[in-house]
A and B are shown apart, each in its own frame.
Chain A
Amino acid sequence: MNIDWNAFTPLSALAGGLLIGLASAWLILMNGRIAGISGILGGLLNNERGHRGWQFAFILGLLAGPAIWGIFHALPAIEIRASYPALIAAGLLVGIGTRYAAGCTSGHGVCGLSRLSPRSLAATMTFMFGGFATVYVVRHLLGA
């Protein structure tokens, strides 16, 4: 293993993680809901009565973040190197996969691991494996 120390940003990563934990803590304690983004977006698409309001508001908060951040500070870099076809394939896989698994990085990764759920641990290990394997194939076998 070869660590890229120049790219390593421990302080901002940790501080950002604390904020993500705070947002999840807020939603479960104030609203009684799990901050699982694929679940909230999927729920919104299912148009569930009585849930539309808070689900829409949460997604709106995610979308509004960069604009509000931008009032006070320059936005951090967002570098997207994937081609449009790759982004479309990735989006389809992420959409279908997270709904079958009933959770993504937030629902299983953050909330599930915080609840010490074995089911979420299995999901997290599986999607991490999928991510590591895919990047290995794309970058080191195909050389893209």
Chain B
Amino acid sequence: MNKVTISAFISGLIFSFGLLLSGMANPEKVLGFLDLFGAWDPSLALVMGGAIAVGLPAFLIARKRETAVLGGSINLPTKRELDKRLLLGSLVFGIGWGLAGFCPGPGIVATGAAETGALVFTLAMVSGMLIFRWLENRNTAAS
């Protein structure tokens, strides 16, 4: 185990605690936030606000640095286009999110909490990602 691996584990662990503490790992809580026209629970807006309050200065520093603290480059996304893939993909993701109240992180965290329903969701999500990869490989082979 090197420093890079241990550091990534620590980040994943803090992320997991954040999802548990905030209520994001609880699908009923998430659906309460997404139910804008029912009894609306605005809590999750504060999760986003809190995360960005820390993220904003961190990414400002990241943009100015040449290298990461543990070495290697800082990999910031370079894509800028608002294309069909971005918008359609996000819409499909949002529909799935609203169906069960799980997005990727909470699905994995609740699986770690030994919730059978979360394991079912996560296995289906992994299958969806493999279907995406298969479609992408097929397109590359065809062109």
User: Which A residues have a C-beta under 8 Å from some C-beta of B?
Assistant: 1-4, 7-10, 12-35, 37-38, 41-42, 45-46, 53-69, 75-82, 84, 86-102, 104-106, 108-119, 122-124, 126-136, 138-140
In the complex, what distance in Å separates the CA atom of A141 from the CA atom of B44? 24
B1-44 to A contact mask, C-beta < 8 Å, 1/0: 01011111111111111111111111111011011111111111
In the complex, what distance in Å separates the CA atom of A119 from the CA atom of B21? 29
How far, in Å, is A22 (CB) from chain B's closest CB?
5
Interface size on B, residues (CB 8 A): 118
* Residue contact B112 to A78, C-beta cutoff 8 Å: no
* Residue contact A79 to B27, C-beta cutoff 8 Å: yes
Q: Please indicate the chain A residues that have their CB under 8 angstroms from the CB of B59 in the complex.
A: 25, 28, 111, 114-115
Q: Please indicate the chain B residues that have their CB under 8 angstroms from the CB of A60 in the complex.
A: 9, 12
* Residue contact B122 to A91, C-beta cutoff 8 Å: yes
Tell me which of A41, A81, A98 has the highest count of chain B C-beta atoms within 10 A of its own C-beta: A98
User: Which B residues have a C-beta under 8 Å from some C-beta of A?
Assistant: 2, 4-29, 31-32, 34-44, 46-59, 61-63, 65, 67-70, 72-77, 79-82, 85-105, 107-115, 117-118, 120-133
* Residue contact A87 to B121, C-beta cutoff 8 Å: yes
Asked if A17 meets B50 with Cβ closer than 8 Å, knowing A66-B109, A95-B128, A127-B91, the reply is yes
Dominant secondary structure at the B interface = helix
In the complex, what distance in Å separates the CA atom of A96 from the CA atom of B114? 24
Q: Please indicate the chain A residues that have their CB under 8 angstroms from the CB of B115 in the complex.
A: 78, 80
Nearest residue (CB) in A for B18 is: A19
Nearest residue (CB) in B for A21 is: B54
In the complex, what distance in Å separates the CA atom of A12 from the CA atom of B125? 28
* Residue contact B54 to A24, C-beta cutoff 8 Å: yes
How far, in Å, is B35 (CB) from chain A's closest CB?
5
Residue of B42, B72, B130 near A45 (CB, 8 A) is B130
Asked if A61 meets B13 with Cβ closer than 8 Å, knowing A33-B8, A82-B100, the reply is yes
Q: Please indicate the chain A residues that have their CB under 8 angstroms from the CB of B36 in the complex.
A: 1, 132, 135-136
Q: Please indicate the chain B residues that have their CB under 8 angstroms from the CB of A88 in the complex.
A: 120-121, 124
How far, in Å, is B12 (CB) from chain A's closest CB?
2
